[in-house]
Amino acid sequence: MGRNKEFDTALVLHRAIEVFGEYGYEGTSLQDLLSHLGIARQSLYDTYGTKRDLFLSAVKTYLEGKNTAVMERLEAPGSVKEAIRDIFQEGVNALRDPERAKACYIINSAIEQIPHDPELALYFERQSKQLEDAFYQALLRAKDQGELNGEDTDISALARYLNQSRLSLTFVAKVTADMDRLQDHVDVSLSVLD
């Protein structure tokens, strides 16, 4: 009979998200992980597998949590344009908070790994498609509700644009300390809805 784990696996995974977000996949050493996670080397291997396995679990946990929140907000009754603005504003709020931003930056680290990791590339492609579909359905509802101007609006292209623009917030926040630029990015991105 195996021993019970003496640590909270969800908490350890959350810490891994922060570590990979802060140092990136390549910049995170095994010692960094062990120090930040507060677990022994064998426990890490027994529970999560390799560093790559832990990274994939961390990315999936982070993305699925964020994507679920985005989809729930897009599906909520009411103004779609307000919902989209709320989604973008929540991204800005998270990136303005140094502690929350650590977790957000795992996206940048994951994107760096995509060219070398077909499994991660496929995962991101599926997650992106799922969000594009959610934006698409919300934009159709916005059109039905009279919130979008223009009969010739390409809803598919707009859904892709919004999804990619939302993802690019982490890149913008990583390359500048000026959070006003981040807000400018949101404002200009969302101007396509006017």
Of 14 and 150, the one with more pLDDT: 14
- pTM of the model as a whole: 0.88
Q: What is the structure's pLDDT at 1? A: 41
Residue 20 forms part of a structural domain: no
Q: Determine the Cα–Cα distance for residues 8 and 47; give it in Å rounded to an integer.
A: 11
1-20: b (≥16 Cβ within 10 Å) or e: eeeeeeeeeeebbbbbbbbb
Mean pLDDT of the chain: 91
pLDDT at 2 over 70: no
Residue 1 forms part of a structural domain: no
pLDDT band (50, 70, 90) for residue 152: confident
Residue 4 forms part of a structural domain: no
Q: Determine the Cα–Cα distance for residues 20 and 108; give it in Å rounded to an integer.
A: 10
What the block records as the tokens of 156 is: 């598919």
Q: Determine the Cα–Cα distance for residues 136 and 156; give it in Å rounded to an integer.
A: 6
- Looking up residue 135, the CATH number of its domain turns out to be 1.10.357.10
User: Which tens digits make up the pLDDT trace of 35-64?
Assistant: 999 999 999 999 999 999 999 999 999 999
All residues at 6 or more sequence positions from 86 whose CB lies less than 8 Å from its CB, including other chains: 73
In the chain, which ranges are E strands? none
Query: Number of structural domains, the chain?
Result: 1
Residue 157 forms part of a structural domain: yes
Q: What is the structure's pLDDT at 178? A: 84
Domain that holds residue 92: 60-193
What the block records as the tokens of 130 is: 């799922």
Q: What is the structure's pLDDT at 5? A: 57
Nearest Cα to 123, choosing from 171, 192, 187, 62? Answer: 62
Q: What is the structure's pLDDT at 160? A: 97
pLDDT at 84 over 60: yes
Residue 52 forms part of a structural domain: no
Residue 88 forms part of a structural domain: yes
Q: What is the structure's pLDDT at 190? A: 95
